[in-house]
Amino acid sequence: DQQVKQNSPSLSVQEGRISILNCDYTNSMFDYFLWYKKYPAEGPTFLISISSIKDKNEDGRFTVFLNKSAKHLSLHIVPSQPGDSAVYFCAASVKEYGNKLVFGAGTILRVKS
Amino acid sequence: DSGVTQTPKHLITATGQRVTLRCSPRSGDLSVYWYQQSLDQGLQFLIQYYNGEERAKGNILERFSAQQFPDLHSELNLSSLELGDSALYFCASSRDNINQPQHFGDGTRLSIL
């Protein structure tokens, strides 16, 4: 039962343009969502999060949008830089179940210079 | 550097053996989480400890066990190892128990021969 889905295995974007990574979820009880970035041979690095009471959160070049009715969230990176090339994971949790994260399968982002 | 330390980085052992993976959380974090990343399963939650007590369990095998010590470091014990246990094992920590970003270590790569 894949509760968090990242349907695009990979995405290629030109440097300076916007990268949009998408994530869908099925469990309506999820109330906290996060994005992580992962480089090879390293652990996931936390990027940005959003609570289900909000629909947008910004941190520098990164913005996360949450559409609860569509059970969809997205991560926008503007402008994209070559150093952003990594695997991006979407994750979600339910407060009642503690803080355990359910992860999507990841999307490989390649930013071309 | 996330501040979460995992040792060892690599572990090679044989089927039937037992290993212990160690994790030191970020300073001040009370919660420790263990995740398994295998090729076909992605990042899967195993178990969570909060201030020394077990708080949540995922799909952790009975052959696996964990504990969190008074100094808040944690150990994951894997016994009667099978070929399918080969994976990356990540530890993460967070300040407390609810809706907090988790910060990951760089993982222990376990190879079963």
Measured between beta carbons, the chain B residues lying within 8 angstroms of A104 are: 42
Closest-CA residue of chain A to B98:
A99
Name B104's bridge partners: B92
Interface contact B60, partner A, CB < 8 A? no
Q: Is A83 helix (H, G, I), strand (E, B) or coil?
A: helix
- Given an 8 Å threshold on Cβ–Cβ distance, is B42 in contact with A36? no
Q: Which of A89, A93, A101 to mutate to test the interface with B (most CBs of B within 10 A)?
A: A101
One-letter identity of residue A56: K
pLDDT digits (tens, 9 = 90+) for A29-79: 999 999 999 999 899 999 999 999 999 999 999 999 999 999 999 999 999
Are B55 and B97 in contact by the 8 Å Cβ rule? The answer is yes
> B64, B31, B15: which is closest to B23 by C-alpha?
B31
Interface contact B106, partner A, CB < 8 A? yes
pLDDT at B42 over 90: no
Place of tokens 């967070």: B94
pLDDT digits (tens, 9 = 90+) for B52-85: 999 999 989 999 999 999 999 999 999 999 999 9
Q: Is A95 helix (H, G, I), strand (E, B) or coil?
A: helix
Please tell me the predicted confidence (pLDDT) of residue A96: 79
What would the 3-class secondary structure string for B37-56 be?
A: EECCCEEEEEEEEECCEEEE
pLDDT at B41 over 80: no
CA distance B22 to chain A (A): 15
For residue B73 the two structure tokens come to 């470091």
Please tell me the predicted confidence (pLDDT) of residue B64: 97
C-alpha A46: how far from its chain's center? 10
Are B67 and A2 in contact by the 8 Å Cβ rule? The answer is no
- Given an 8 Å threshold on Cβ–Cβ distance, is A97 in contact with B102? no
Element (H, E) at A66: strand A62-67
